């Protein structure tokens, strides 16, 4: 199980390896807070969808398999949307249309079709947790670099009088604005993907 979990995070990382879920990665990775919010929401939907697809796979006719999966995914997406609206309206507003669009995220549908449809509940849960954690980790790395370079800040949780924003001397007054745009996100993703590929090649050589 641990091997599967690690594999789904690293070797099958949704963004850096399979290049899935790039639209939300480009759109919501402007700040760490938004990235973590989207990652956790996606993990919740991914986990719920994998559990139900794995439980119902023997009862769903093959002709309506994909529509049935989409209904399950859309249901969990609606639950996430209502929870965000009730408990974190600011985050819901920041994420905008990309919250309901979780329902058509190819990471979730692909996981349901390629894995949960063919495996038991326990294995599907582990895979979903790994994929969700991998997606969240990738979003965090992208957002950290984009926010750091694009605004010169690092946003953490606000505690007491601390507003949660760390301003980096030098960068805060003269940030590289391009990294706040979609083009900047492409550069960051490409750099991180190249770095991870280089690390993998080094391990193979050793």
pTM > 0.85: yes or no: yes
Residues sharing a CB contact under 8 Å with residue 18, sequence separation 6 or more, in sequence order: 12, 110
* Residue 141 to residue 26: CA distance in whole angstroms: 12
pLDDT, tens only, 113-138: 889 989 999 999 999 999 999 999 99
Residues sharing a CB contact under 8 Å with residue 11, sequence separation 6 or more, in sequence order: 17
Are the CB atoms for 91 and 36 separated by under 8 Å?
no
| Blockwise average pLDDT, block size 10, the chain, 206 residues | 82 88 87 92 95 92 90 95 93 90 90 89 93 94 92 79 80 86 88 88 78
The span from the first CA to the last CA of the chain, in angstroms, equals: 26
* Residue 14 to residue 125: CA distance in whole angstroms: 16
pLDDT at residue number 40: 95
């Amino acid at each position: 199980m641990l091997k599967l979990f690690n594999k789904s995070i690293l070797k099958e990382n949704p963004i850096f390896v399979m290049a899935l879920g790039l639209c939300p990665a480009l759109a919501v990775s402007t700040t760490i807070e938004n990235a973590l919010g989207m990652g956790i929401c996606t993990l919740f939907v991914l986990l719920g969808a994998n559990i139900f697809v794995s439980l119902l796979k023997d009862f769903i006719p093959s002709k309506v398999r994909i529509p049935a999966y989409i209904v399950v995914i859309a249901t969990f997406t609606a639950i996430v949307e209502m929870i965000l609206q009730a408990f974190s309206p600011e985050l819901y507003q920041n994420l905008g249309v990309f919250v309901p669009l979780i329902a058509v995220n190819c990471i979730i549908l692909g996981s349901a079709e390629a894995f949960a449809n063919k495996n038991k509940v326990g294995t599907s849960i582990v895979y979903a947790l790994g994929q969700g954690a991998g997606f969240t980790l990738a979003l965090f790395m992208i957002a950290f670099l984009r926010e750091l370079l694009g605004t010169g800040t690092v946003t953490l949780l606000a505690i007491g009088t601390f507003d949660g924003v760390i301003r980096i001397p030098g960068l805060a007054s003269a940030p590289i604005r391009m990294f706040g745009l979609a083009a900047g996100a492409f550069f960051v993703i490409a750099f991180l993907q190249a770095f991870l590929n280089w690390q993998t090649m080094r391990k193979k050589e050793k």
